[in-house]
Chain A
Amino acid sequence: MKTAHLSTLMVAGFAALNVIMYLGVQRFWIGGSSFLPLIGKMGPGNKFLLAFIVNLGVIVGAFIGASTSGEFHLRTPCVSQLPRAILGGILIGMGITLAPGTCTTAFVTGMPMLSVSSCLSAAGIFIGAFIVFQIMTHKRA
């Protein structure tokens, strides 16, 4: 379990890096739309392609972080986990494309930008997640 101070410091580092990237290359971190190149949509000025490359770097960075802290373990999924993962992935895919900027981007970039669309998206995320949480909780009970 990560300590509260370490988590806070690292997340502060993430936020600071987002600002530095904005100042340096005039692009901020985006999540959902970065996967549109997987269906051939590169975005204006290859914007989504660059975001996709950034997010490939995120995987490498997470691997470095996990390896250096002894948290890397190769885990293969069991078959029973797959339907939920696939359904969840499809819903995420639809959500991030229906209104771009709707995803983690709303929390880490959009809301600090005071983007109205991101505030609405965050409200939607909360509602959708709460409905699924209630369904899952009732199923278990």
Chain B
Amino acid sequence: MALTGFLFGIGFGYFVQRGGLCFAHGLGELFIGKGRRIIRLFLVIFIITGIGFVLSSFLNPALGLKPVGEIRGYGFYNVLSGMLFGAGILLNGGCILGTLRQIGEGHLLFVVVLAAFIPGMAIVVFGLDPWLASGYHVQKIVLPQLLNAPATAVTGLLALGAFFWLWKVWPRRR
């Protein structure tokens, strides 16, 4: 399992490096009004992964759509943690994939960034977690459950919208 995971990782790393994928750079481009590239890449990911994940349940009922972030469910903490993460990636110029990619490309600064994750994680796990645990309202959910609609229909509609944007809107705006 570990070797398989490592091999998948090599594949991910190769594609990310050759694709130049980094959401920190992407957000920076978006904020200066040049966000077409990152929107295009995000929509491509959304279409392929979204359709793949939703169809996976037909091959194996144990798969399909699952909520991500199993510990705290969804709510205020997601927005707060997103803000901390968003601030962090803009400061150092690399999201998680971007950081790993840039280490692979020889930027030793990102080894420092990676090492600095440790005190940040420790503050939450050893400092805040015991205190936050009493206040959690764990609720794991995916959008189709919230909308009370079939997962295939929700993913299908969103993927169609994304595909329409890529096919019709994006080429015209280039």
B63 surroundings in chain A (CB, below 8 A): 22-23, 26
**Closest CB of chain B to A137's CB: distance in Å?**
8
Chain A residue at minimal CB-CB distance from B9 = A57
Chain A residue total in the interface (Cβ 8 A): 110
Chain A residue at minimal CB-CB distance from B143 = A114
Q: Does B8 contact A (CB under 8 A)?
A: yes
Main SS of the interface on chain A?
A: helix
Task: Identify which of A75, A82, A91, A132 gathers the most chain B CB atoms within 10 Å of its CB.
Answer: A91
**Closest CB of chain B to A136's CB: distance in Å?**
7
Interface residues of A in 54-105 (CB under 8 A from B): 54-66, 69, 71-77, 81-82, 84-105
Binding site for B on A (CB under 8 A): 2, 4, 6-19, 21-32, 35-36, 38-39, 41, 50-51, 53-66, 69, 71-77, 81-82, 84-133, 136
A-B contact pairs, 10 of them (CB 8 A): A11-B44, A58-B97, A58-B101, A65-B18, A102-B69, A103-B85, A117-B69, A119-B143, A121-B81, A129-B89
